[in-house]
Structure 1
């Protein structure tokens, strides 16, 4: 990364260097005062968009925040939603940040031009973390590069785990999604005061954040709140039906020794609740029986949006889409843990069957393209398709005019075996290749030219609705493949990458 970008990491992501008078902006609840970097990017951190979800509001829809008088200081990230830390080795690869406190429903804004005259495009970021981890309060998601390039960037906290997604009788489902809608409503009503155009909002997210967008695309209450969307490694295929969600709530309550109700869960302390949530995921992985877990048996995510079934949006959704995945997503879950080499052939066949593939015909197709690949490498290819690539393709197919991408740059970490794994695109999207938080994932020599291409495409899409290549359709299946470095051809459009493998999933996924 060149020196200019490295020095302009801005508030929350580098040294504090105020270069002028502290910027202020007006919201419907009061004025806020942020910070100005020496490169002229203003940041406003920890701005509440809803009241603290505590006491009677804990399992309720988000309520408006309390107004304040005077000017509220907005120079530090707000408290993070309760969550357990990632376990080793994931804790080093997926940057997390925790801030104690109750006022967790806050957002952060980076802007090159605070004030109502600018009318710049807006990008709103939803973090990933399997609906149980993550927060916007991490320097890894610093929005300086977006603001530098003429975008008002907003990152949002939302409730996680049981607080955000457990199915509990008598309270609304999907409280974490309701939080996201409330944040988008805040953006609609307030972002003009930060230089943003409320009629040019791009919602984007990764993993669980993208999966949330996949659900919001079909939600009437979210209609009109965003006009474009970028879905990274997540689409509209991950959910729990109410019956499955009840199974998980019952097991969670059993582990805590409380009734499976909002009152019961609220009576458990957060240390006990967070520990039990982590144990649930381990139990699902150890015994992935649909009779015990429903849909969660295949993806090992006990907390997901609760819906009656998958609902792909059509042209009527009114949102232009950029959607894609990484080429070797599942390696994140196989390589650092040593499972890639330890995975057995019989388990590979069982997983293929569980995903709906014919273990003979399907695996033969995957083997042909990967001569000499072991069972773990084939599992990566199959699971990547089932979990990420095929849902992205189905979403692109369902909304004409969508754009498709695949991120294929391979990380050198773990002797090069980590590959184009889940989340490896994030430092390229945020143009933060020299951020030490990302070094365990990408190393120290990731190609800046590729970050320029990826970040530039995201900014172009948010600004104009066109990332720079042809839309996806079922004839050409044009897909931008982001690659670089030794053996990489550089970014370029490919027609129907790995088409034979895609065809295996017709009528299956």
Structure 2
């Protein structure tokens, strides 16, 4: 790939599979913490804030070669002390990745930030801190745990928690469903190996996090966009049961997974795009060339690249996460379900034309935003919004309606599936506006990430660094930390946050003055309840 190379040459691959991201080196500075994991000793670094950071910790073996399309395997133990000072490779993907990031099939790495007190025996100080395990977004196609937005120092220090981020296989490497095309046990799980990677990472946390000052019995998953969808799927996976104890989905839900027939259609088109019809050739194809299959037009959506995501394969996933109800096995896990008020303002880049629409253009453009998720007459939608919000401009209606139909609807379905159970969700809506460009972007998709991590000054962040931004960040961090610690997000920073029940639909609105509201945007919810919702990819 352009400016990318695989992590290691073939002659070094075997050795690399036994080590974390970096080979063992002589002892580092006195302040460098060393921790003994189940596979071997690792050396991290200590920030000026006293938080210990371990990057590129290997939780799984290389997934290239015979490991392609197969469930992940634990790494081989190593001797000596291996450096954990730089992020490991991210999964192969069509995007550029983070600045300076390597892309590789050898991508099963995670990162740990801990405020535990170091001693001669390591970081197992008996602190039993909650573990906040973040799963990155980027749909199921891109991203990594190495984004500066997810840098865990501030969250770990403020909350006295252990923060973990993770890389796993993406797109075709993690979700290409081949089980109905090839009678080979090695690909029986290929439609969900990206999910199984996260299961293995959570097993690593269970087995090792106490050595970093964390509590394996208090693991909270949180993730935004695709990360939230991955978490919703894990709530329905038997292999993940008992490995995490709280969950928060942020602007990302998975109501239904891809069915096996549609997933097979996609796999066929993927192979046709590559000009391959046998498994041996597919396994031997260089990783960067395999990505070319993603350019196939999706046979279900009828546009865009071919979709890859979790599959109802009757093996690791035997039911849909939130259809016909909330997966019963996940009801033991307290859940936060949130979204931002203006999700789709985050999808349009910086094109100023979107703020100068006519009413006719809104009617014309809305169907492309709904993209078969919602099949409803756009003129009817625009007329309803003009009645509900007479002060809205055409662009305001465009963003509000596309958010409600495209992004918010799945969050409602997820919350309402939990509402009648013994474990309803706590629901939030982020109304707090980004200060970027005078506030024209409102509360767009991704805004909650840097607020929860406290990474206000990270490259590309749109949350601002002033006192207003810091106050909103402190509030969200404190609520998420409280949830990680107790399984209940209530804390001094917010008013009493009630779980979401029907018919009230209680929602915490994060804003300059955070408040509770019953059924905010109820008129919009009722409008889109006229038609069924289809989860993209299903």
Deviation at 1:493, TM superposition (A): 1.4
Q: Decide whether the 8 Å contact of 1:59 with 1:262 is kept in 2.
A: no
Q: Does 1:249 align with 2:267?
A: yes
Residue pairs, 1:137-216, within 5 angstroms: 137-148=146-157, 149-169=159-179, 170=184, 171=187, 172=189, 173-216=191-234
Equivalent in 407, 411, 420 of residue 430 of structure 2: 407
Would the alpha carbon gap of residues 472 and 96 (structure 1) be closer, same or farther in structure 2, given more than 3 Å must change? Answer: farther
Equivalent in 24, 41, 44 of residue 31 of structure 1: 41
Q: Counterparts of 1:33 and 1:350 in 2: how far apart (Å)?
A: 50
Q: Decide whether the 8 Å contact of 2:168 with 2:198 is kept in 1.
A: yes
Q: Decide whether the 8 Å contact of 1:97 with 1:135 is kept in 2.
A: no
Deviation at 1:363, TM superposition (A): 3.7
SS of residue paired to 2:335: strand
Residue pairs, 1:331-480, within 5 angstroms: 331-337=345-351, 340=354, 341=356, 343-348=361-366, 354=372, 355-359=374-378, 361-371=380-390, 373=392, 377-399=396-418, 400-414=423-437, 416-438=439-461, 441-443=462-464, 445=466, 447-468=469-490, 469-480=497-508
1:408-442 CA distances to partner (integer Å, 9 max, x unpaired)?
2222435533221111211101101112332xx34
Q: Decide whether the 8 Å contact of 1:348 with 1:375 is kept in 2.
A: no
SS of residue paired to 2:343: coil
SS of residue paired to 1:174: helix
Q: TM-score, normalised by structure 2?
A: 0.80
- The equivalent residue for 1:7 is none
Deviation at 1:464, TM superposition (A): 1.5
Q: Counterparts of 2:303 and 2:463 in 1: how far apart (Å)?
A: 28
Q: Does 1:500 align with 2:523?
A: yes
SS of residue paired to 2:460: helix
- The equivalent residue for 2:114 is 111
Q: Decide whether the 8 Å contact of 1:357 with 1:508 is kept in 2.
A: no
Q: Counterparts of 1:222 and 1:147 in 2: how far apart (Å)?
A: 24
Q: Counterparts of 1:423 and 1:392 in 2: how far apart (Å)?
A: 15
Would the alpha carbon gap of residues 157 and 189 (structure 1) be closer, same or farther in structure 2, given more than 3 Å must change? Answer: same
Would the alpha carbon gap of residues 395 and 99 (structure 1) be closer, same or farther in structure 2, given more than 3 Å must change? Answer: same
- The equivalent residue for 2:86 is 76
Deviation at 1:476, TM superposition (A): 2.5
Q: Counterparts of 1:210 and 1:367 in 2: how far apart (Å)?
A: 32
- The equivalent residue for 2:5 is none
Question: For structure 1, which segment, 110-119 or 358-367, has the greater mean C-alpha deviation from structure 2 after superposition?
Answer: 358-367
SS of residue paired to 1:204: strand
Structure 2: segments with no counterpart, 5+ residues:
1-27, 117-122, 314-318, 491-496, 534-538
Q: Counterparts of 2:33 and 2:150 in 1: how far apart (Å)?
A: 21
Q: Does 1:57 align with 2:67?
A: yes
Q: Does 1:271 align with 2:288?
A: yes
Deviation at 1:247, TM superposition (A): 2.4
Equivalent in 475, 481, 501 of residue 509 of structure 2: 481
- The equivalent residue for 2:337 is 323
Structure 1: segments with no counterpart, 5+ residues:
1-17, 285-291, 485-489
1:56-110 CA distances to partner (integer Å, 9 max, x unpaired)?
0011100110100122111111111111226xxxx9xxx6662255531011111
SS of residue paired to 1:425: helix
Q: Counterparts of 1:224 and 1:303 in 2: how far apart (Å)?
A: 27
Deviation at 1:394, TM superposition (A): 2.1
Deviation at 1:503, TM superposition (A): 1.9
SS of residue paired to 2:407: helix
Q: Decide whether the 8 Å contact of 1:239 with 1:310 is kept in 2.
A: yes
Deviation at 1:241, TM superposition (A): 1.7
Question: For structure 1, which segment, 59-68 or 246-255, has the greater mean C-alpha deviation from structure 2 after superposition?
Answer: 246-255
**Superposition RMSD on alpha carbons, in Å?**
2.7
Report the count of equivalent residues. 465
Q: Decide whether the 8 Å contact of 1:185 with 1:225 is kept in 2.
A: yes
Question: For structure 1, which segment, 74-83 or 237-246, has the greater mean C-alpha deviation from structure 2 after superposition?
Answer: 237-246
Q: Decide whether the 8 Å contact of 1:357 with 1:504 is kept in 2.
A: no
Would the alpha carbon gap of residues 197 and 351 (structure 1) be closer, same or farther in structure 2, given more than 3 Å must change? Answer: closer
Q: Counterparts of 1:339 and 1:272 in 2: how far apart (Å)?
A: 37
Q: Counterparts of 1:404 and 1:463 in 2: how far apart (Å)?
A: 18
Deviation at 1:334, TM superposition (A): 2.4
Q: Counterparts of 2:395 and 2:99 in 1: how far apart (Å)?
A: 28
Would the alpha carbon gap of residues 22 and 215 (structure 1) be closer, same or farther in structure 2, given more than 3 Å must change? Answer: same
Q: Decide whether the 8 Å contact of 1:19 with 1:38 is kept in 2.
A: no
Q: Decide whether the 8 Å contact of 1:19 with 1:36 is kept in 2.
A: no
Deviation at 1:25, TM superposition (A): 1.4
